Structure 1
Amino acid sequence: MKPIWIVDDDQSIRWVLEKALSRASLPVRSFTGPREASAALEHDSPQVLVSDIRMAGGSGLELLQTVKQRHPGLPVIIMTAFSDLDSAVAAFQGGAFEYLAKPFDVDRAVELILRAVEESLREATVDERITEEPEILGQASAMQDVFRAIGRLSHSSATVLITGESGSGKELVARALHRHSPRASGPFIALNTAAIPKDLLESELFGHERGAFTGAQATRRGRFEQAESGTLFLDEIGDMPLDLQTRLLRVLSDGNYYRVGGHSPIKANVRVIAATHQNLEDRVRQGLFREDLYHRLNVIRLRLPSLRERNEDIPLLVRHFLQKSARELGVETKRISESALNHLTRFPFPGNVRQLENLSNWLTVMAPAQTVEIKDLPPEFQMPSAVNASVTGGASAAGSYGNVGVSPAPASASAPGSSAAASGMPGAPGGLPASAAMPTAHGVAGIAGGDMADAWEPLLRREVARLLRSATPDVMDQLTRRFETALINEALDFTRGRKVEAASRLGIGRNTITRKIQELGLES
């Protein structure tokens, strides 16, 4: 092993560290200033460098910059007697492994240096750099099936319907389908139909003529025109209003459409790819989605697996997202220990790949060391109840990290792909009778053993049985509305009415929670 380099103009500090590191059987080499250490870097390098920040012969931050230019993976520990915010921020911005304030505990300093040595040895033996940015990552068999389908469709412009839970990567697959299609040279235009108000969606899709309505001061091209000769991706198609479904069906049937306020037909040369997290067959049965449009869209169906179905991909995805966020922020890539990876592999990730990416971005900014351990994860991910929770139950305590406060949805509570399937556990505000009241996230601690599945699933089944026995119509729709009402009310109570934060904690979009509040009559 290479020696630990100590750079400090204080002879007593060098002596103390030399003796302590020698007792730990670590080789040491000392320097009185940055110039001497920089000269030694011309022909040698340390295992770890420990440097003071302010010395008579120069700045430790300048030495840090020199080291990072020549040896980007070399851990550098910055020491200083000036424990101010600016010094700490400057050290970490420069890529320091850790910041050590003087006077320091010698045993803690040795422990920190040993951690840096482990990081240095890992850096020397593992190279996780991705030389080419992949489109979609996945080694699980379920993802390989998706890759094969994209390959088979590469010579086709057929309409495709992509299904899967929120956050599973439907738009990424749509872009891959476009990129590997005969229309790749044309534009890819995406529109989230759930994010556009109903009265504006028609104009957004088909454009409008000047004077077509108040405020239409000029002719505007719609998304169909913008996607000419390319691909139009319609996300959350299950939320499209019925009257617009009729217009979309006409375009798919005869290839013509009219701008709002227009009288001349426009020929559409566009491939349509649609996506939804909802069960469209159920929507058709409920009269909320046109059956003829469903069959027009359902020419080729691709189902994306949830992250729970491909948890063997979690290590690959975590490393990829850590590298991506490090590149975007211009910092050194964090590594993650095997124990932390194994821990995350058991987490249900109700927010799917999007939640995993958010976690990786958080770790890049907030994890204290270059190697992420279990203790460095946000509190919501450290809880055994969160990691051991299955897709049919479990809850994680609310905390400061965006999506990770979401509890996995009960499989028996909603149809596959329904909006409730991507939400958390129900609560008493949903309107259940006292005999069937379900514990909310705030009441988790009162349940023996913390086993949420044992606590509320039988109550849910009892309520379903009661409704079925009483011949109650639209049982699924009623329970789904009560589930969503309980979830949103609980989230808004927790965030004191802050919709954006409530949406983040539930793992849904800001527009989605606004639309749900309107649909469920919760605005008051």
Structure 2
Amino acid sequence: MPKSKRIWIADDDESIRFVLEKGLIDAGFDVSVFEDGNEVVNQLDIEKPNVLLTDLKMPGRDGMDLLDTFKNEYSNIPVIMMTAHSDLETTVDAFENGAWDYIAKPFDLNDAISKISKALEEKKIRAKKISSEEEIHLERGKIVGKSPAMQDLFNSIGKLSHSSSTVLLVGESGTGKELVAQAIYEHSDRADKKLISLNMADIPIELLESELFGYEKGAFTGADHKKIGRFEQAHKATLFLDEIGDMPYETQTRILRVLSSGEFYRIGGSDPVKVDVRIIAATNQNLNEKVRSGAFREDLFHRLNVIRIALPPLRDRKEDIPMLTNYFFEKFSEEVKSESKFLSSEVEELFTKLIWPGNVLQLQNLCHSLTVLSSAQEIQVSDLPDDLILQKKGPELNWDDLLEVWATEKLSNGDDHLLNSTIPIFEKTMIRVAMKATKGKKSEAANLLGWGRNTLARKMNELDL
């Protein structure tokens, strides 16, 4: 057995050790298993692993203790954390303390093997400079979820903790883009500065550039003082630009110049203002399509699309709905000083069958309304608003019948180029179904769709998936 494939597993759960040991041995690894962290540390006097796979919570010396030991004394050995306590704070804490990767229980064995194989290819883990005593927390809210899609999101936020790269958040309205931007900011090296935010859709076009770049005194009628714009306010800090798909073309050009040169001119100014700004941008629109139509600058798109994070819609993470409703009920019950509501089994089942076009924001608003208006502590179907019930009790049609209804409505509204708008929607739906059926394995999903892997990757990029 090659010495370069020595894997150590530390977990107090015998069944987990058995499954991993058998699976990894079958995959060709040299495996040693340990019941707790103390056994691992004792064995380090004799030999060293190439990768350590450790549970986070164990009696005695736990996974975080082991991670700290490896970070300080064996920083070239990748450590992969496992835990059933899957939330953003736990994930980020693990990454910031030096974890190479993170696996949430229950895990997929093939996924664990894949991550171990990738860890073996790493020559050295990048040094982490966050003290183990530092507490990570979100001041404005909490990102909740155990689904694979949310674990991927937590991992992405954790890996960005020491980066100042530009981030593009894509996702439907209500998926929590502002909350994710806040989390990225709070776990970054620029968290000691204020997060500066601007929703491009909220500002009238004629005022947008003065909000972004400021103006000099006397620049125009009514400019009786100098105004500092958002870019200047965000110097050495982070600027969150929401709904960037709504930017006028002229504003896009000015923002491109700032990102390219690191400087801009206030309106009416003659001296350049130099800035060092980390950009987090967000949109609920298909920027690839806007680039193709000429409505969005391609060069600006590439400047913004450095690190892309796609936020899943609620319909793709329905297993998170019970956890989300509990969180929202507890939050709102504290505000109104009442006992926390909870869903009956019928309502919980109904919620997992709804489409949730407004995503998490729609669910949050519903929980707020139910907390205030419902007299009973247990929420029944009769407590729900009629429009929500109609989502489930509407006429059941075949998909081609639904397509006919949709197409007829579009044509009656005067929409043209119907195929051009329909095909991307169809392809996006088919890709989501295939990816869900294969648990995110792109090669298998491509095969189900009758495409090559490169074709699937290109389509996912074009469709903002």
TM-score, normalised by the number of residues in structure 1 = 0.51
AA paired with 2:287?
Answer: L
AA paired with 1:228?
Answer: H
Check the 8 A contact 1:257/1:267 in 2, yes or no: yes
AA paired with 1:281?
Answer: N
Alignment match of 1:332 (pick from 314, 319, 339): 339
Partner of 2:403: 457
Q: Structure 2 regions of 5+ residues with no counterpart? A: 1-136, 425-465
Check the 8 A contact 1:233/1:273 in 2, yes or no: yes
Check the 8 A contact 1:256/1:267 in 2, yes or no: yes
In 1, distance between residues paired with 2:332 and 2:361?
13
In 1, distance between residues paired with 2:180 and 2:308?
12
Partner of 1:173: 180
- The residue correspondences of 1:123-134 to structure 2 (distance < 5 A) are none
Check the 8 A contact 1:205/1:223 in 2, yes or no: yes
Aligned CA RMSD, in angstroms, stands at 2.8
Q: Does 1:319 align with 2:265?
A: no
Residue 464 of structure 1 deviates from its aligned partner by 9.1
AA paired with 2:352?
Answer: T
Residue 458 of structure 1 deviates from its aligned partner by 2.4
Residue 245 of structure 1 deviates from its aligned partner by 0.3
Check the 8 A contact 1:186/1:228 in 2, yes or no: no
Deviations 1:433-492 (A, max 9, x none): xxxxxxxxxxxxxxxx45385544125558999xxxxxx769647999xxxxxxxxxxxx
- The residue correspondences of 1:50-89 to structure 2 (distance < 5 A) are none
| Change beyond 3 A, Cα 1:207–1:318 | same
User: If you compute each CA radius of gyration, which structure gives the higher value, 1 or 2?
Assistant: 1
Q: Does 1:363 align with 2:363?
A: no
Q: SS of the counterpart of 2:241?
A: strand
Deviations 1:58-77 (A, max 9, x none): xxxxxxxxxxxxxxxxxxxx
Check the 8 A contact 1:160/1:297 in 2, yes or no: yes
- The residue correspondences of 1:84-95 to structure 2 (distance < 5 A) are none
Partner of 1:375: 382
Alignment match of 1:291 (pick from 279, 287, 298): 298
In 2, distance between residues paired with 1:157 and 1:280?
22
Partner of 2:107: none
Identity %: 52
Q: SS of the counterpart of 1:154?
A: coil
Partner of 2:392: 387
Alignment match of 1:309 (pick from 293, 311, 316): 316
Residue 311 of structure 1 deviates from its aligned partner by 0.5
Q: SS of the counterpart of 2:161?
A: helix
Deviations 1:80-135 (A, max 9, x none): xxxxxxxxxxxxxxxxxxxxxxxxxxxxxxxxxxxxxxxxxxxxxxxxxxx99863
In 2, distance between residues paired with 1:477 and 1:194?
23
Partner of 2:245: 238
Check the 8 A contact 2:138/2:183 in 1, yes or no: no
AA paired with 1:260?
Answer: I
Check the 8 A contact 2:138/2:186 in 1, yes or no: no
In 2, distance between residues paired with 1:354 and 1:147?
19
In 2, distance between residues paired with 1:140 and 1:257?
43
Residue 162 of structure 1 deviates from its aligned partner by 0.4
Deviations 1:336-361 (A, max 9, x none): 22221111111111000000000000
Check the 8 A contact 1:190/1:234 in 2, yes or no: yes
Alignment match of 1:278 (pick from 285, 292, 308): 285
Q: Does 1:214 align with 2:221?
A: yes
Which region of structure 1 is more displaced relative to structure 2, 225-234 or 303-312? Answer: 225-234
Residue 187 of structure 1 deviates from its aligned partner by 1.0
| Change beyond 3 A, Cα 1:457–1:369 | same
In 1, distance between residues paired with 2:375 and 2:207?
47
Check the 8 A contact 1:206/1:257 in 2, yes or no: yes
Check the 8 A contact 1:326/1:364 in 2, yes or no: yes
Check the 8 A contact 1:167/1:352 in 2, yes or no: yes
Alignment match of 1:138 (pick from 145, 165, 185): 145
The number of aligned residues is 284
TM-score, normalised by the number of residues in structure 2 = 0.57
Check the 8 A contact 1:464/1:475 in 2, yes or no: no
Check the 8 A contact 1:283/1:289 in 2, yes or no: yes
Partner of 2:54: none
